[in-house]
Structure 1
Amino acid sequence: MVYSVGQFYQDVRNGQFQVMLVDLEVNGHRIAALQRELHGNGNGYLMNDKALEEQVESQEFRFNGKSWTRFNIMIISFLQFCRDVDPWSLWTSCDLIFKFYQDLGNCLLNDSYPIDPLVLLFRELTNYVVNLATILDDNSVKLNTRPHQFVSHTSAVISKVFNSIKPPRINEDGVTNGNTVGLPEKQRILLYLVNKLNNLYFRIESPQLCSNIFKNFKPKAMSSSFGQYPINEQIEYRYLLGRYYLLNHRVTNAFVQLNTAFNQLMLIATTARPDSQPQIKRNLSRILRYLVPAGLMLGKSPRIAYLSDIDANLSKKYASLLNHIRTGNIKALNAWLAHHETSLRKHHLLLILLEKLPMICYRNLIKTVVQTCTIPQNTGKIPYPQLETAFKLSLGPTTAQPINIYTAIHRPDNVENVLVTLINLGLLRGNCFPILRLCVVKKTQEIKEILPPIQDRILTTFPLNSDDSWLDF
Structure 2
Amino acid sequence: MNLDSYLALVKRGLDENQKLLPLLSINPLEASHLASLQQNLQGISDKQITAIVDKCNFSWPSFESFIESYLRFTSDVDPWSLLNSIDYMIEVMGSLSIALNTKNPSWLLLLLPVLEEYIKILIPLSKLVDNESLKLKNWSDDYPRLSEISNILLKCLNNIRSDPDINQPSNKIKIVSLFNVCISLCNVYFSIDRHILCNNVFSNMNVLQLDVQLIQFKQLLQYRFIVGKFYSQQAQYTPAYNHLNWCYENLPTKCGIVDRVKILKYLLPVGLLVGKIPDIHVLHKLITSSVANKDATSARYFLNSILPLISAYKKGDFLRTSLIISKHENIWQKFGLWVGLTQRLKLLITRNLLVRVYMLKNKTLNISDIKIALDVSIGCKIETGESLVPYIYQMIENLTPSGVERSTVENLIGLLVSNGLLKAKLQAGSNILVMSKDKPFPPVFDVYMTNNPLPSKEAWLNINV
TM-score relative to the length of structure 1: 0.84
Could you say which residue in structure 2 is the equivalent of 1:173? none
- Greater mean deviation of Cα atoms: 144-153 or 80-89: 144-153
* Alignment-mate amino acid for residue 75 of structure 1: I
Which of 121, 131, 134 is residue 124 of structure 2 equivalent to? 131
1:206-245 alignment to 2 at 5 Å? 206-220=194-208, 224-245=210-231
Aligned to 1:350: 338
| Residues 1:13 and 1:231: Cα distance change in structure 2 (over 3 Å) | same
Distance in 2 (CA, whole Å) between partners of 1:57 and 1:177 is 32
Report the Cα distance in structure 1 between the residues aligned to 2:126 and 2:60, rounded to whole angstroms. 29
Cα distance, 1:111–1:263 mapped onto 2, change above 3 Å: same
SS of 1:440's partner is: strand
- Give the equivalent residue in structure 2 for 1:96: 88
The separation in 2 between residues aligned to 1:177 and 1:74, in whole angstroms, is: 24
* 1:147–1:228 Cα change, 3 Å: same
SS at match of 2:303: helix
Unpaired runs of at least 5, structure 1: 40-45, 170-175, 270-276
**Matched-pair contact (CA < 8 Å) for 1:11–1:17:** no
Q: Residue deviations 1:223-275, cap 9 Å, x none?
A: x41122111100001101111222232322222211111122234x2xxxxxx
Task: Provide the residue aligned with 1:305 in structure 2.
Answer: 284
Q: Are residue 405 (structure 1) and residue 405 (structure 2) matched?
A: no
Separation in structure 2 between the aligned mates of residue 404 and residue 164 of structure 1, nearest angstrom = 51
1:23 to 16, 22, 27: 27
| Alignment-mate amino acid for residue 248 of structure 2 | F
Shift of 1:166: 4.8
Partner of 2:368: 385
The answer as to whether partners of 1:325 and 1:361 remain within 8 angstroms in 2 is: yes
Who is 1:152 aligned against?
Answer: 147
One-letter amino acid matched to 1:391: L
Match of 1:431 in 2: 425
- Report the 3-state secondary structure (helix = DSSP H, G, I; strand = E; otherwise coil) of the residue aligned with 2:142: coil
Would the alpha carbon gap of residues 433 and 89 (structure 1) be closer, same or farther in structure 2, given more than 3 Å must change?
farther
What do the CA deviations read for 1:374-426 (whole angstroms, capped 9, x no partner)?
A: 53xxxx4x332321111111111362759732236455333222211111222
* CA pair 249-383 structure 1, distance change in 2 beyond 3 A: same
CA contact (8 A) 1:321 1:336 kept: yes
Equivalent residues of 1:324, 1:333 under 8 A apart: yes
- Tell me the distance in 2 between the aligned counterparts of 1:281 and 1:210: 28
Contact residue 237 and residue 270 of structure 2 kept, 8 A: yes
Q: Is the 8 A contact 1:167 1:220 kept in 2?
A: no
The equivalent of 1:255 in structure 2 is: 241
Distance across 2 between alignment mates of 1:403 and 1:315 = 24
Return closer, same or farther for 1:11/1:282 CA change in 2, 3 Å cut-off. Answer: farther
**Is this contact kept in 1: 2:332–2:338, CA < 8 A?**
yes
Distance apart, 1:142 and its partner CA: 4.0
What residue is the counterpart of 2:70 in the other structure? 78
Equivalent residues of 1:108, 1:115 under 8 A apart: yes
Shift of 1:61: 3.0
Amino acid at match of 2:283: I
1:48 and 2:45 are equivalent in the alignment:
yes
In structure 2, relative to structure 1, the CA distance for the partners of 1:434 and 1:290 (3 Å cut) is farther
TM-score by length of 2: 0.85
**Cα offsets for 1:285-332 (capped at 9, x unmatched):** 211111111222223223322442463222201110011112211011
Paired with 1:82 and 1:177, the residues of 2 have a C-alpha distance of: 34
- Is 1:415 paired with 2:419? no
Q: Is the 8 A contact 2:166 2:175 kept in 1?
A: no
Change (3 A) 1:185 1:111: farther
Q: How far apart are 1:188 and its partner, in Å? A: 4.1
Per-residue deviation, 1:337: 1.2
- In 2: Cα distance, 1:281 partner to 1:127 partner: 26
Question: Does the residue aligned with 2:433 lie in a helix, a strand or coil?
Answer: strand
Distance 1:282 1:7, change over 3 A: farther
Match of 2:377 in 1: 394
Question: 1:352 deviation in Å?
Answer: 1.5
Q: CA deviation at 1:184?
A: 8.0
CA contact (8 A) 1:227 1:234 kept: no
Tell me if 1:179 matches 2:168: yes
Indicate the percent of aligned positions where both proteins have the same amino acid.
24
8 A Cα contact 1:167 1:219, kept in partner:
no
Q: 1:140 & 1:180 partners in 2: Cα distance?
A: 45
Distance 1:233 1:262, change over 3 A: same
C-alpha distance in 2, partners of 1:127/1:372? 58
Q: Distance in 2 between matches of 1:36 and 1:5?
A: 10
- Map of 1:172 onto structure 2: none
Contact 1:109 1:160 in 2 (8 A): no
**Number of residues of Structure 1 aligned to a counterpart in Structure 2:** 431
- 1:33-54 CA distance string (max 9 Å, x none): 2122223xxxxxx222222222
Equivalent in the alignment of 1:366: 354
Q: Alpha carbons of 1:265 and 1:408: their partners in 2 closer, same or farther (altered >3 Å)?
A: closer
Question: 2: distance between equivalents of 1:458 and 1:199?
Answer: 29
Q: Partner of 2:114 in structure 1?
A: 121
